[in-house]
Amino acid sequence: MTFSGFDLPDELQMLSDVIADFVRDEIVTAESALDPAVRDLPADVLAGLQAKAKELGFWCLDAPREFGGGGLSAFEMAVIWEQATKHRFSFPHPGAGVFGFSPPVVMYRGSPQQIEEYVRPTIDEGWLSFTAISEPSGGSDPARSIRTTARRSGDTYILNGRKMWATNADHGRYGVVYARTDSAAGRSGISAFVVDAGTPGMSTTSVPVLRNHWTTELTLEDCEIPAANLIGEEGQGFALVQEWLVRGRLAYAAQAVGVATESVRLAIEWAQQRETFGELLAARQGVQFPIADSLVEIEAARLLTWRAAWAHDQGRDARTEASVAKLYGTEMGFRVVDRAIQILGGMGVSKDMPLEHWFRDLRVARIVEGASEIHRYLIAREALGGAALGQRAAAPAVDGVVPRATPA
Ligand SMILES: Cc1cc2nc3c(=O)[nH]c(=O)nc-3n(C[C@H](O)[C@H](O)[C@H](O)COP(=O)(O)OP(=O)(O)OC[C@H]3O[C@@H](n4cnc5c(N)ncnc54)[C@H](O)[C@@H]3O)c2cc1C
């Protein structure tokens, strides 16, 4: 059910419908045949689905066209991610990787050699990669907390340090590691490097977490890599990803909308056929109201996501709008899945249903890609300006009246 009041362009509507059919007919069908304890799509099942998706042209739709991707806009991707998420193993890769794995976005700013050696094969052959920013010292404020160093030595860099949580670092063919090349500079002292899996000096240890994922701790001990593996210039690590921040946040927002929509659909279906005390659940106001609240909140989250995506596509700075969409979308998704679980009772937490999986995914989604508190901080900083950083501004004169000293 949607009451957005917008007609999508025909071509986009058609793509969205075809992806929705593919997810329902192919991915959900494959997932349903698996043992409920299985954590992920088995490699052969994934490969079979990827081949079909590729044939239909649903491949790396978010990656720029110049590198072999679909080149879809942020708005188009917001519509597509919503549909691609409506199945059990949807996080952290929408479509569970069935629609391909795009490289870490900073790689799009790589050298021609890096594009040929890493970006193209990632897109063409579905290589898995990883991104290692967070460290044991923290992930919310990487400009301060990154302690990993990269020291230039002739035509190599030598990396030393520890990274936390890097998803797929034990499965990926390569990864992008953010390290400090200048200990004096803050944000501008951080550089990004491509590191191949198996490089001597790099090791990984699995760090199991709440959801079914492949988080790892990465240790770098005198890990020597070619100087040509620096992405962009020294100190540009964060500057190079700025233009993709909005898309990263919106991917989470749109996925949360998709999962929430599917959860409420399951709750409605259940409430329409389940009877307790001689009445359908659907006839109880205590069941109707959470469904109504969920529908309203889903709609709000979708509109926030579409608005931010649209503004970004117009060339505007939509980082704050994207923070609003990511914050509201993931918090909303978690609430809605929780309500759906409650309506389904025991079946809600059964591994035969996707809800318990999404519940865990969305709990994590409120922490990654900027925790909710970080997005609140970014939104508040935009609204409050320097005062949010504790800077006192001179009090403005009102109607020519010179204000007294600022109150203590
Ligand atoms: C499943 C999973 C996968 C991940 N994958 C990756 C990955 O692939 N690559 C990678 O680099 N990292 C990854 N991460 C790490 C993730 O990005 C960090 O966990 C996240 O950035 C938060 O950092 P932290 O855990 O160090 O918490 P901290 O930064 O220590 O923050 C702790 C808590 O304090 C809150 N907080 C922080 N600052 C403020 C403030 N100013 N005001 C109020 N509250 C604040 C935060 O919201 C958070 O809830 C992953 C994490 C998980 C759980």
Q: Is 80 exceeded by the pLDDT of residue 3?
A: no
Mean pLDDT for the stretch of residues 89-115: 90
49 lies in the same domain as 138: no
Residue 352: give its domain's CATH number.
1.20.140.10
CB-ligand 1 contact for 178 (6 Å cutoff): no
Residue 16: give its domain's CATH number.
1.10.540.10
Residue 163: give its domain's CATH number.
2.40.110.10
Strand-strand pairing, 279-280 and 149-153: unpaired
- Per the CB < 8 A criterion, the answer to whether 178 and 159 are in contact is no
260 lies in the same domain as 347: yes
Residue 122 lies in a domain: no
Which residue segment(s) compose the domain that 185 sits in?
129-231
Residue of 195, 216, 367 best suited for mutating to test ligand 1, as the one with most atoms within 8 Å of CB: 367
42 lies in the same domain as 178: no
Residue 219 lies in a domain: yes
What are the strands, taking DSSP E only, across 17-173?
A: 129-132, 149-153, 156-167
Measured in Å, residue 139 CA sits from the centre of ligand 1 at: 5
> How far is Cα of residue 223 from the mean position of the Cα atoms in its chain?
29
Question: Is 243 part of the annotated catalytic residue set?
Answer: no
Give 196 or 37, the one with higher predicted confidence: 196
381 lies in the same domain as 259: yes
262 lies in the same domain as 174: no
CB-ligand 1 contact for 171 (6 Å cutoff): no
Convert the pLDDT of each residue in 274-316 to its tens digit: 999 999 999 999 999 999 999 999 999 999 999 999 999 999 9
- Residue 144: how many other CB atoms lie within 10 Å: 11
227 lies in the same domain as 246: no
309-317, long-range: CB < 8 A, 24+ apart: 309/73, 309/74, 309/75, 309/77, 309/78, 309/246, 309/250, 310/74, 310/75, 312/74, 312/75, 312/246, 312/247, 312/250, 313/73, 313/74, 313/75
246 lies in the same domain as 379: yes
Distance CA 256, CA 252 (A): 6
Residue of 163, 331, 368 best suited for mutating to test ligand 1, as the one with most atoms within 8 Å of CB: 368
Catalytically annotated residue among 76, 217, 262, 369: 369
In single-letter form, the type of residue at position 137 comes to S
222 lies in the same domain as 251: no
Radius of gyration of the chain measured on its C-alpha atoms: 23
pLDDT tier at 92 (50, 70, 90 boundaries)? Answer: confident
22 lies in the same domain as 44: yes
| CA neighbor of 136 nearest in space, from 156, 166, 115 | 166
CB-ligand 1 contact for 377 (6 Å cutoff): yes
∠260-265-270 over CA atoms, to 5°? 125
- Residue 55: how many other CB atoms lie within 10 Å: 9
Model-level pTM? 0.93
Residue nearest ligand 1's atom 49 by CA: 371
Give 246 or 397, the one with higher predicted confidence: 246
Residue 2 lies in a domain: no
248 lies in the same domain as 373: yes
Q: Is 80 exceeded by the pLDDT of residue 94?
A: no
Mean pLDDT for the stretch of residues 68-78: 96
40 lies in the same domain as 172: no
